[in-house]
Structure 1
Amino acid sequence: MLAGLESLFVVVLVAALAPLLSAVIPGGRIPQLVLLILGGILIGPSGFGLAKPSEIELLANVGLGFVFLLAGFEIQPAILRTRVAGTALIAWISSCVLAAVIVGGLAAVGFVHAYVPVGLALTTTALGTVLPILRERGLHDQDLGRYFLPNGAIGEMLPILAIAIFLGVNNRFSALISLAAIGLLALALAYVPRLLRERRVARIIAAGADTTGQTTLRWSVLLLLGFLVLAADFGLDVVLGAMLAGMVLRRYAPGNVHALEVKLDAVGYGFFIPVFFVSAGMGVNLDSITESPARLPVFLVLLLVVRGLPVFFLYRRTVRTRLRVQLMFCTATTLPLIVALTEIGLRNGTMLPENAAALTGAAVLSVLVYPAIAVALERPGGSSVPGEPAVRRPSDGGGDDPRGRP
């Protein structure tokens, strides 16, 4: 009991120091999430050994759930019906083709053993990880954030579905049935507000939102945990359950949605999400990385090539160069899904330990480096070229508004 509290205290200390260090570091360009991961490495088994990941595992998993709950909360169905989302889908399919070719070649020479987990890892995007960085810099509602959102959503949802089908359970038909069942449940819950709009229960929940009962927040957390449990029971990745919970919550939440979002941000970013990112840093095995140091830069470059380059080229007719470069680096950033994929590969014995460590290390480095490059390239006012809009308007070559407006 005391050992668990000591580990939690050290983790929370890192979480509390991160925003202070981020504010005092010259230049102020290091995101808090980067400092949380570095702090986790420092206090974890590969560092000074001040905390044990196993003692905060439950809280870290809830933090992972909050990461994807808030990411799903940001996604509106209309975003996925725009031309930008159509291009994002083509970019992800292109990433899958590149991953199949490249990982197939690496498997042929014995560089990798776990073909499917490694291939899927290279097609992922950390929507829930990059959004807080963009939000911290005020870029989530600028052109970069608007174009990144559909790419991040597709780069997170489709790999999750692929994980559920190919790696989640032994029988793929059972996986499809499980996906259909939990999807139908999410769809049904999304229409619950219409049924309860004039009911007494809905009025009670809405009325207690800002009292000591905090009804909307408590029911939101219940929804999150419920989807996490359901996803686990169906043999699916819990990330899928958390993202579905966030997407349902935007339609389900009674009362003031903005006020609920503020509360979820407070609970998530105030405690659970920092615990997850510190825990992710604690899980980095530096010994395995130093034993095969060449693997880490290889995977880091492959993330950019496989996931970032298709986005860079496919938006060449609608987005100016600087914004495409920013979008490329943001889309190539990944972390939570790679952690899940490496755990699956190690669990079933198909992934080499050095590749698991290198993939995780590359994912951590992608969070440390790629968003920082994207943010550093941002010009005042959100334009990718001084004095010109970041997105080409119909008068200079066509294009469409990432929010779905012509």
Structure 2
Amino acid sequence: MPSIGASLFWIVASAVVAPLLAGLFPRKLVPEVVLLLLAGIIIGPHVLDIAVEGSEIGLLSDLGLGLLFLLAGYEINTAEITGRGGRRALVTWLASLALAFGLVWLLSLAGVTNAGTAVAIALTSTALGTLLPILRDAGALDSRLGKTVLNHGAFGELGPVIAMAVLLGSRGSLASIAVLGLFVVAAVLVAFIPDRLRREGSRIAAIIRAGSETTSQTTVRLTVLLLVTLSVLAMWFGLDAILGAFAAGFILRRATAGGYEVLETKIDGLAFGFLIPIFFVTSGMAIDIEAIASEPGVLVAFVLLILVVRSGPVYVSGRFDRGPGGTDPPFTVRERTQLALYAGTGLPLIVAVTGVAVDSGTMTTAHASALVAAGAITVLLFPLGASLIGSPRDRQADHEPDAVDSQAANDENRGVDT
């Protein structure tokens, strides 16, 4: 068995090689995340077997997952998710959940799958944290399409986490809702702390500002403390740590109203430079190729279900999206397809949901492996498909008058036979 040191070397080496390979592809058609997952599959125990996760690397991976969801929560604009686009995204996610329960119920009657509740929740997830580096590298975060992806991604992460806490909890639904409410109250109380630290003339605030540009790096340390505190708090309440990390991102955004570019740069360096790549590589290492090959039909069924349950409603929703003010043209077919593929991308929450279901004995490990593999396939192929479908130039062309019709009209005015 490979040692922890050797495993960490190969994981970090994969994290270095992935962006170099991604840069060789024109227009960055192959996202770096895809290459990190592929590298994990190759070096993992199911192919070359030169790297294992272990508890030490697992801790780094968990921190990477936490930072991934913290940054996802940080990117969410409260005004956006409470506005027209956010309400539409919420309704779309609820439609996805209802559709998921209906289809999974039919499949359970046919004996195709068990653990219907867990499977239904997993099918409605959107890996916003996974999409962030892809959208950021493509320069699409500030575009209308990017903001819509963020809206759907916010509910595609928060919705399944809440559903998992309520429907898969061991306490029962009512008790789980009460515990979830207590966590929300605790998170709100934590959110008031930054307000007190920011008061003008505060000695503590002055120390924090002075130390932010020294070796103390106080703002980074406070961010990590916020992440760890809320993650541990969530686990203490019997909830998934992902919920705490997501809440930490919301609170960090509130604490840095208007944005704090220096802090964002430092957190990006810590997250995307080290910890998040470890999470993606170790996620790839966990994919069992032999288990997938033993039940290819189940794998294909899960991928198709994700397309129908999550991508389908989002595609339909894009037809009625006219921007925040309701005056923009609806998304084109190309843009709706891109939006649907991005929304259907899921992995971290699928891993979390299947882990809870397997631990409770309601899901077999074979079906859990197939569902996780299906999530990995969406990360491998869906963002790539969205990138191939259209570039920013293509999206602009979709909103411009048809070039052929325009040229024909000009020729007609000049008396040219077209």
Q: TM-score, normalised by structure 1?
A: 0.91
Given that 2:85 and 2:148 are in contact with CA atoms closer than 8 Å, whether structure 1 keeps it comes out as: yes
The worse-fitting range, judged by mean Cα deviation, of 352-361 and 152-161 is 352-361
What is aligned with 2:114? 113
Matching of residue 238 in structure 1 with residue 241 in structure 2:
yes
**Cα displacement (A) at 1:184:** 1.5
What is aligned with 2:284? 281
**Cα displacement (A) at 1:44:** 1.0
Deviations 1:43-67 (A, max 9, x none): 1111111111224111111110011
SS for the counterpart of 1:383 is helix
What is aligned with 1:5? 5
Matching of residue 383 in structure 1 with residue 384 in structure 2:
no
The worse-fitting range, judged by mean Cα deviation, of 271-280 and 187-196 is 187-196
d(CA) in 2 for partners of 1:107, 1:368: 28
Amino acid at match of 1:3: S
Deviations 1:89-121 (A, max 9, x none): 111111111101110011111111111110101
SS for the counterpart of 1:370 is helix
**Cα displacement (A) at 1:302:** 0.9
What is aligned with 2:173? 172
Aligned with residue 344 of structure 2, among 288, 310, 332:
332
Unaligned runs of 5+ in 1: 390-406
**Cα displacement (A) at 1:340:** 0.8
Matching of residue 215 in structure 1 with residue 224 in structure 2:
no
d(CA) in 2 for partners of 1:363, 1:255: 35
What is aligned with 1:393? none
d(CA) in 1 for partners of 2:305, 2:138: 27
Within 5 A, what are the aligned runs for 1:149-298? 149-196=150-197, 197-198=199-200, 199-253=202-256, 257-298=260-301
Deviations 1:235-258 (A, max 9, x none): 101110000001101122499711
**Cα displacement (A) at 1:375:** 1.6
The worse-fitting range, judged by mean Cα deviation, of 332-341 and 350-359 is 350-359
What is aligned with 1:68? 69
Amino acid at match of 2:216: G
What is aligned with 2:53? 53
The worse-fitting range, judged by mean Cα deviation, of 316-325 and 92-101 is 316-325
What is aligned with 1:360? 372
The worse-fitting range, judged by mean Cα deviation, of 264-273 and 22-31 is 22-31
Deviations 1:3-62 (A, max 9, x none): 222211111111111111111246641111001101111111111111112241111111
SS for the counterpart of 1:168 is coil
d(CA) in 1 for partners of 2:110, 2:30: 38
d(CA) in 1 for partners of 2:375, 2:388: 20
What is aligned with 1:396? none
Identity %: 42
**Cα displacement (A) at 1:381:** 4.4
Matching of residue 321 in structure 1 with residue 324 in structure 2:
no
Amino acid at match of 2:34: V
What is aligned with 1:22? 22
d(CA) in 2 for partners of 1:17, 1:94: 40
- Cα distance 1:226–1:281, how it changes in 2: closer, same or farther (>3 A)? same
**Cα displacement (A) at 1:139:** 1.1
- Cα distance 1:70–1:263, how it changes in 2: closer, same or farther (>3 A)? same
Aligned residue pair count: 388
Deviations 1:216-241 (A, max 9, x none): 00010011011111111111011100
Amino acid at match of 2:392: P
d(CA) in 1 for partners of 2:141, 2:169: 32
Given that 2:7 and 2:52 are in contact with CA atoms closer than 8 Å, whether structure 1 keeps it comes out as: yes
Amino acid at match of 1:35: L
Given that 1:11 and 1:51 are in contact with CA atoms closer than 8 Å, whether structure 2 keeps it comes out as: yes
Given that 2:332 and 2:398 are in contact with CA atoms closer than 8 Å, whether structure 1 keeps it comes out as: no
d(CA) in 2 for partners of 1:133, 1:195: 36
The worse-fitting range, judged by mean Cα deviation, of 154-163 and 349-358 is 349-358
Which entry has the higher C-alpha Rg, 1 or 2?
2
What is aligned with 1:403? none
**Cα displacement (A) at 1:377:** 2.2
